[in-house]
């Protein structure tokens, strides 16, 4: 059961001692979820993926209802992060849908800003970045997906990244298992994607109602969370990435400044120019 209050905690209904409460933040509103003793903690999921991968549809499949707007086209219909909550197997599941990666209708800055926002939407942080990839459509952009995730969230984010393969009904039609598809029908870059995420993946069919596929996904995510010590990706991790990015920008700025000064100083020895060039280029 969900309680919503904009005034503050004082207005929330009283709960029995046996109930635990999971807090989720949505803008200026406070959501509290009443959870029975048999329930485990709220699971917080960020859905990522290229436009057309089945990202939003997968979020709907997990929630068990059509919450996120989905389109089969190549233009993203998701421009801003959107959060939704559902109870799955007597457990609260919070899903944040994000704009399509590499979408031409949004600038890189706009996409990055929305991706960063998802961490605060799921305070204290998401348990998993669910990277959605459509079977048979591993594009050049998707080969750079993990690099983009690392650039935005930092290298630690890969410990929280899980691959969700959509189009599972196509494998059923071809009589292939997921293992057979990965081992025999995919290229090395696709295999590397799976390997870089610790071999963690699951297959979805968003066209077929099958509650078991959602239960199996949640069980796999729980296993990953356990391997991560039961924690989530936190805002501290994101801030550490931002500090690292700022340090890199400062270093690059200093290098450019020194390089420009060297080029305008006629008395600077030629040998020093050569030495600095070699150091700058890693020669």
Domain boundaries, the chain: 1-36, 40-233, 238-281
pLDDT tens string 150-192: 999 998 899 999 999 999 988 988 899 999 999 999 989 999 9
Most confident of the following: 19-23, 106-110, 240-244, 249-253: 106-110
| First-last CA distance in the chain | 63
Q: Which residue has the tokens 């859905």?
A: 47
* Angle at 55 (CA atoms; ends 53, 60), nearest 5 degrees: 135
Is residue 2 pLDDT above 50, yes or no? no
Confidence of residue 238 (pLDDT cuts 50, 70, 90): confident
CA-CA distance, 157 to 83, in Å (whole number)? 20
Tell me the pTM: 0.73
**How many helices (H) and strands (E) in the chain?**
9, 9
Is residue 244 pLDDT above 80, yes or no? no
**If you average pLDDT over every residue of the chain, what do you get?**
78
Question: What percent of the chain has a predicted confidence (pLDDT) above 70?
Answer: 69
* Angle at 64 (CA atoms; ends 63, 66), nearest 5 degrees: 85
Longest Cα–Cα distance in the chain = 80
Is residue 109 pLDDT above 80, yes or no? yes
Mean pLDDT, residues 100-105 taken together: 83
Confidence of residue 95 (pLDDT cuts 50, 70, 90): very high
CA-CA distance, 231 to 222, in Å (whole number)? 11
Give the residue, 4 or 112, on which the prediction is more confident: 112
Give the residue, 105 or 124, on which the prediction is more confident: 124
pLDDT tens string 190-209: 999 999 999 999 999 998 88
Give the residue, 274 or 27, on which the prediction is more confident: 274
Q: Which residues of 78-90 are buried (b: 16+ CB within 10 A; e: fewer)?
A: beebbbbbbebee
What per-residue confidence (pLDDT) applies to 23?
44
CB atoms under 10 Å from CB of 8, counted, come to 8
3-class secondary-structure state, position 248: helix
Confidence of residue 240 (pLDDT cuts 50, 70, 90): confident
Is residue 72 pLDDT above 50, yes or no? yes
What per-residue confidence (pLDDT) applies to 279?
52
Phi and psi, residue 72, nearest 5°? -80, -5
Could you tell me whether strands 29-35 and 20-26 are parallel, antiparallel, or unpaired per DSSP bridges? antiparallel
Is residue 262 pLDDT above 60, yes or no? yes
CB 84 within 8 A of CB 230: no
Q: Which CATH number fits domain 40-233: 3.90.700.10, 3.40.50.10190, 3.40.50.300, 2.60.40.10?
A: 3.40.50.300
């Amino acid at each position: 059961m969900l309680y919503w209050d904009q005034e503050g905690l004082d207005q929330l209904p009283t709960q029995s001692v046996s109930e635990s409460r999971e807090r989720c933040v949505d803008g200026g509103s406070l959501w509290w979820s009443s959870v029975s003793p048999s329930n485990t903690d709220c699971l917080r999921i960020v859905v990522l993926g290229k436009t057309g991968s089945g990202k939003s549809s997968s979020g709907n499949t997990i929630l068990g209802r059509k919450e996120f707007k989905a389109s089969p086209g190549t233009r993203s219909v998701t421009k801003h992060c959107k959060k939704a909550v559902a109870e799955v197997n007597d457990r609260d599941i919070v899903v944040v849908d994000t704009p399509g990666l590499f979408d031409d209708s949004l600038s890189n800055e706009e996409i990055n800003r929305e991706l960063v926002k998802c961490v605060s939407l799921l305070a204290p942080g998401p348990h998993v970045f669910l990277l959605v990839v459509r079977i048979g459509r591993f594009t050049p952009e998707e080969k750079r997906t993990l690099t983009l995730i690392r650039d935005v969230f930092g290298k630690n984010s890969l410990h929280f990244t899980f691959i969700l393969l959509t189009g599972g009904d196509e494998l059923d039609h071809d009589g292939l298992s997921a293992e057979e598809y990965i081992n025999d029908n995919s290229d090395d870059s696709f295999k590397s994607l799976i390997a870089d995420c610790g071999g963690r993946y699951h297959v979805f069919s968003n066209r077929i109602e099958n509650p078991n596929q959602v239960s199996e996904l949640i069980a796999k995510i729980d296993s990953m969370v356990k391997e991560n010590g039961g924690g989530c990706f936190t805002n501290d991790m994101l801030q550490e990435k931002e500090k690292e990015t700022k340090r890199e920008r400062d270093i690059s700025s200093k290098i450019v400044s020194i390089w420009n000064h060297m080029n305008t100083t006629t008395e600077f020895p030629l040998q020093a120019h050569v030495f600095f060039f070699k150091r700058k280029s890693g020669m």
